[in-house]
Amino acid sequence: MKERKWTFATTAIVAGLIALSAIATMVIRIPIPATTGYFNIGDVFVVLAGLWLGPLAGLLVGGIGPTIADAIGFPVFIPATMVTKGLEGFLVGLIASQAKGSSLQLRTIAAFVGGFTVVAGYFIFEAYIYPALGKSMPAFAITDIGAAIVEAFPNTVQGIIGAVGGLALWKALSGYDPGRK
Amino acid sequence: MPWWLKLVLLLMLGLPGLSGWPNTWFIQQLQATGLFTLELAHVIVWVVYAGCVWLVVLLSVGPHKLLAYLGAAFVLALTVAMLGAILRSLFPLLAAGLSREATSFKLIRIFINIIIFLPYSVLFINSFSAKKLIDRVAHLDGRYRTVGLHLALAFRVFQHTGEVVFNLFQIWIEEYPEKIIPRNSGGPGIRWYTPGKLLVWIWGCIHAWIFACIIHTFEPIPAMVAEVERIDRANHKHKEHKG
């Protein structure tokens, strides 16, 4: 694994990516009426953060950026988004950090593992966790397994767009590493 | 006003967004009168709350910035509501058995949430001075100073990105007036290929806007990082001299 030092430059870039992922999540929101969830392109920056800066950056960008966007309009999805997107960024960074040089193969696998994490994570939350929470907290009683199945398709498209977009942006930015020793 | 008082007041203002209270109580009271349905009571209470938030934003940042925030908020909210309505019509399966009225009410709630909490969020971020935070943190010692400088730098980048985004909305509106202001539109009018051209135009706008966002967000980062590193080095040297 490459040795990566966390510098002030890394902090600034991660903060920028958090803000951009929040904005990208908010700008193009296509609501899915079944679950009150929505389709968005914020995953592009989550995948980019994991590929470019490693698992910790991916975790922070995924866990914070889209969560900020959810707080504006869709607050009930904050727990699901924080966990799912945080895990997405972390796994992308973890797998990509094993790649040698500028090899694309492992990074492509990492990006699509991230996309799959989005689909699986939201399905688990909407099919099982939210209905269970909804029994004691009515605010979470917004989904069931049927709605979760319906939302799996747009989430799959979202995961693919995030993976492909994130890979494309990484290819453009990979020449600069703010934390390389 | 001390920063902690600002924080408390802002959190109190945003309480309905976090917990629903006291708006849910007002909605129940209106419903109990028998004059309003749940949906109507919800809309009335949240629109009144929106007015309160906008008044606070107006008093804090002035009319020009309030209009900029509201412009962005309404564009986003309308985009979400309209796309949701189109999707409901094109793909009824995505509604998973919900009635049209229930889906419409969900979209109205999302619309109202966005026009309230987008200006509120930007007000929250911009209410605190990143420079004062950096100056205060620079006087701390050891690990707290380093962590504090990192957090202060992140906060400064957030503030900068918020400024960039709203300016880019304004620039985009000025560059594409023909779609926004009908009197500026020219050309042959609606033809069979117009929806295709509209999709291509929308994709081009989104693409240009996102890349402009990336470039303008990252452009001043080297200067911000250099400033924080200078403060960090200056403090190290001061400690060495004292030692």
Whether domain A8-173 has CATH 1.10.1760.20: yes
Work out the minimum CA distance from B105 to partner chain A, whole angstroms. 10
- Is residue A31 over pLDDT 70? no
- Is residue A46 over pLDDT 90? yes
Q: Which of residues 166-195 of B touch A (CB under 8 A)?
A: none
Q: Are residues B116 and B33 in the same domain?
A: yes
Q: How far apart are CA A45 and CA B33, in angstroms?
A: 49
Note whether B221 contacts A75, CB cutoff 8 Å: no
Q: Which of residues 56-85 of B touch A (CB under 8 A)?
A: 76-77, 79-81, 83-84
Residues of chain A with C-beta less than 8 angstroms from the C-beta of B147: none
B162 and A CB contact within 8 Å = yes
Residues of chain A with C-beta less than 8 angstroms from the C-beta of B77: 73
Is the ipTM above a cut-off of 0.85?
Answer: no
Domain end call among B128, B157, B188? B128
Amino acid at B45: V
Q: Are residues B45 and B161 in the same domain?
A: no
CA distances to A15, A16, B131, B148, B164 from B153, in Å: 8, 10, 9, 8, 17
Domain end call among B94, B128, B162? B128
Q: Are residues B119 and B194 in the same domain?
A: no
Residues of chain A with C-beta less than 8 angstroms from the C-beta of B149: 8
**E strands along chain A, which residues?**
30-32, 37-39
pLDDT value of position A59 = 96
Q: Are residues B104 and B156 in the same domain?
A: no
Mean pLDDT of A136-151: 80
Across chain B, mean pLDDT equals 80
Range(s) of the domain holding residue B156? 129-243
What does the domain layout of chain A look like in residue ranges? 8-173
- Is residue A178 over pLDDT 70? no
pLDDT value of position A93 = 95
Q: Are residues B58 and B157 in the same domain?
A: no
pLDDT value of position A55 = 94
Domain end call among B78, B99, B128? B128
Q: Are residues B134 and B123 in the same domain?
A: no
How many residue pairs bridge chain A and chain B with CB atoms within 8 Å of each other? 123
pTM, rounded to two decimals: 0.83
Note whether B161 contacts A23, CB cutoff 8 Å: yes
A133-162 burial, b if ≥16 CB within 10 A, otherwise e? bbeeeeebebbbeebbebbbebbeebbbbb
Q: How far apart are CA A116 and CA B57, in angstroms?
A: 41
Structural Rg of chain B based on CA atoms? 23
Q: Are residues B114 and B170 in the same domain?
A: no
Note whether A12 contacts B157, CB cutoff 8 Å: yes
- Is residue A119 over pLDDT 90? yes
Into how many domains does chain B fold?
2
**CB nearest B98 (choices: A33, A38, A75):** A33
Mean pLDDT of B64-69: 88
Note whether A16 contacts B161, CB cutoff 8 Å: yes
Which residues of chain A approach chain B closer than 8 Å at the C-beta? 8-9, 11-16, 18-20, 23-24, 26-36, 38, 68, 71-75, 139, 146-147, 150-151, 154
